[in-house]
Amino acid sequence: MKLSITLIFSLFFFFGSMAQSGTPKDYLSKEFHKERRDALRANMPANSVAVFFANPVRNRANDVDYVYHQDPNFYYLTGYKEPHAVLVIFSESQNVSEGKPYNEKLYVQQRNAQAEQWTGRRLGVEGAKTELGFDQAYNGSDFKNSGIDFASFDKVMYEDFRDDYRDTRNTADLYDLIQSFKTQIQYDNSFTITNTTNDVEVDSDSKVETVTVKKDTRTLSRLMAGLREVKTEEELLLLKKAVRISAMGQREIMKAMHPGMSETEVQGVHEFIYKTYGSEYEGYPSIVGAGNNGCVLHYIENTKMKVENDLVLMDLGAEYHGYTADVTRTIPANGKFTKEQKAIYDIVYKAQEAGIKATVIGNTMQSPDTAARKVVYQGLIDLGIAKNTTEARQYFPHGTSHHIGLDVHDPGTYGQLQANMVITVEPGIYIPIGSDCDPKWHGIAVRIEDDILITENGPVNLSAEAPRTASEIEKLMKEKSVLNRLELPSLD
């Protein structure tokens, strides 16, 4: 048996209309990133400076690194996708008396023909100017002589360093950039601002007379969360696309699913659909858990060789140009919910409906959780699975909502819901084998997760194209899938 040419063509035809041709043009614009920097600057304290570093390159094994992923704040503010870079944003214009004023500087990887032959084109200083719109762009090696007098600012804001970066032969890698930043801010004897109310505490070994730089590792995260939690129209285009692609993955697997599939294969179907629609990555490791495996909230092994007649919990999200969806469906592998599976499923569905109804402007980020939790607890008590809410809580051990965006768990201030926020509503019930209830419930795990846009006119379910009710799911599972005709040669 072999993969038929006809099938390849039909798959190509089937998805081809949605696929991109050439290089995608729908990235965030340089104007978007500039506008976001201006928005941050407007919220920065007077006479302050904010410093951002690119994400580290992470090693996978020997000379192979993980696929590089830019730090989301860095990407949001610059559009720069390469490692080994620093962004400096000043609250006010600098150098006003001496020359051309500036209020930001970007230090990037130097161009290098030999390196680029191996790992691809670098933007370099010129690219940072023309493609990203930075007037003040420099090579990373210039950062150690940046000329920035950090001691002259009332606050030097940055996010605390993670310690997972490596010193390489590159003399302007992230390690060197951070080292030279530490030198420039007199890292070892600076004031440390420990909270956001401007209390200042002197490091124990500091001498007040010699301390000059006031560093603040708290405020910046809060300022960035305040910006990123409300999406602009440009962001919403990408985020909606990521969510729709993910919903299409759920639809296709509903048609293709059968008890002989492995968890890995189920994962592969989703990810194949994502790529066919032009999504570059998954926004987080894909979760496909059959039966009891679904009770592990972030189960990513996906190694069960046959999903059999179990419920299959599938929590996956396509990442499109940096923006990630987060969508979960739970479906019966054989196309029909058992009585017990449906009883649990219907509670989670009703809880999600209540949660979605609560995603309205003026409510708090907590509101969907409160609404959903009430339904789950009552449902579990009514079925005799729990005697009271304390017992019920163990079967719904996670929160109901988080922001999505450049991160699957996007930063936010977790206060009031506002228009153009996009949050998940994802109640679940998980009854692991061995739970203190009738064994007929054991091994049932259900999560339903949708991505909800908050608007003046109420919640909009961006992932609604993936069926949610038990009957809609059973109906779609009866449809034929082109993927069922995919027959590969046996390797035995």
Residues in the site for ligand GLY, rule: CB under 6 A?
284, 315, 326, 408, 426, 449
Q: Least distance from C-beta 329 to ligand GLY, angstroms?
A: 12
CA atoms within 13 A on the CB side of 337: 20
Sheet strand arrangement including 318-320? 281-282, 318-320, 323-324
Task: Verify whether residue 63 is a known catalytic residue.
Answer: yes
CB of 487 to Mn ion, least distance (A): 32
Catalytic residue among 75, 430, 450, 468: 430
List Cβ neighbours of 32 (8 Å cut-off, separation of 6 or more). 79, 232, 234, 235
Query: Are the C-beta atoms of residues 74 and 109 closer than 8 Å to each other?
Result: no
- What's the min distance (Å) between Cβ of 449 and ligand GLY? 6
How many degrees, rounded to 5, is the angle at CA 207 between CA 205 and CA 211?
110
Using a 10 angstrom Cβ sphere, with 0-12 exposed, 13-18 middle and 19 or more buried, the burial of residue 17 is exposed
From 82, 265, 426, 450, the catalytic residue: 426
Minimum CB distance to Mn ion smaller for 85 or for 316:
316
CB of 139 to ligand GLY, least distance (A): 38
Considering the complex, state which of residue 173 and residue 315 has its C-beta at the smaller distance from Mn ion: 315
Sequence letter at residue 378? Q
Q: Which member of 167, 398, 438, 487 is catalytic?
A: 398
CB of 287 to Mn ion, least distance (A): 7
* Catalytic-residue membership of 398: yes
Is residue 464 within 8 A of residue 489, CB to CB? The reply is no
Parallel, antiparallel, or unpaired for β 191-193 and 155-158? Answer: unpaired
C-beta of 124 vs 283, nearer to ligand GLY: 283
Amino acid making up residue 280: E
Taking the least distance from each CB to ligand GLY, the nearer of 190 and 279 is 279
| Catalytic hit among 326, 353, 410, 451 | 326
Is 402 noted as a catalytic residue in this protein?
Answer: yes
Catalytic residue among 251, 270, 329, 402: 402
Whether residue 323 lies in the annotated active site: no
- Which residues sit opposite 332 in a β-bridge? 311
Task: Select 265 or 449, whichever has its Cβ closest to Mn ion.
Answer: 449
For the question of residue 233 being annotated catalytic, the response is: no
| Given the residues 60, 63, 98, 205, the one annotated as active site | 63
- Examine the residue annotation and report whether 409 is marked as an active-site residue of this protein: yes
Question: Pick the catalytic residue: 298, 438, 472, 485?
Answer: 298
CB of 408 to ligand GLY, least distance (A): 6
Q: Write 177-184 long-range contacts (CB < 8 A, 24+).
A: 177/53, 177/84, 177/85, 177/86, 177/107, 177/140, 177/143, 178/53, 180/143, 180/144, 180/146, 181/51, 181/53, 181/86, 181/143, 183/144, 184/144, 184/146, 184/148, 184/150
Among Mn ion, ligand GLY, none, partner that 107 touches (CB below 5 to 8 angstroms by kind): none
407 binds, among Mn ion, ligand GLY, none (CB under 5 to 8 A by kind): none
Helices (H), 218-366: 219-228, 233-256, 263-276, 339-357
Q: Footprint of Mn ion on this chain (CB under 5 A)?
A: 315, 326, 424, 426, 449
Contacts of 349 (CB under 8 A, 6+ apart): 448, 468, 469, 470
Burial group, residue 291, by CB count within 10 angstroms (0-12, 13-18, 19+):
buried
Nearest-CB residue for ligand GLY: 315
265 binds, among ligand GLY, Mn ion, none (CB under 5 to 8 A by kind): none
Cβ closest to ligand GLY, residue 336 vs residue 409: 409
Residue closer to ligand GLY by CB (options 52, 430) is 430
Q: Cβ 300 to Mn ion, closest distance in Å?
A: 11
Is 315 a catalytic site residue?
A: yes
Report what 284 binds from ligand GLY, Mn ion, none; CB cut-off 5-8 Å by kind. Answer: ligand GLY
Query: From the CB of 235, what's the least distance to ligand GLY, in Å?
Result: 19
Catalytic annotation, pick one of 315, 319, 407, 410:
315
- Strand locations in 405-457 (E): 422-425, 428-431, 444-447, 450-455
SS3 of the chain: helix, strand, coil, percent, to 5: 35, 20, 45
Question: Would residue 447 show up in a list of annotated catalytic residues for this protein?
Answer: yes
Nearest to 340 by CA among 425, 263, 437: 437
Nearer to ligand GLY, 408 or 466 (CB): 408
Contact 278, 232 (CB under 8 A): no
Dist. CA 429–CA 372, nearest whole Å = 11
Residue positions annotated with a catalytic role? 63, 298, 315, 326, 398, 402, 409, 426, 430, 447, 449
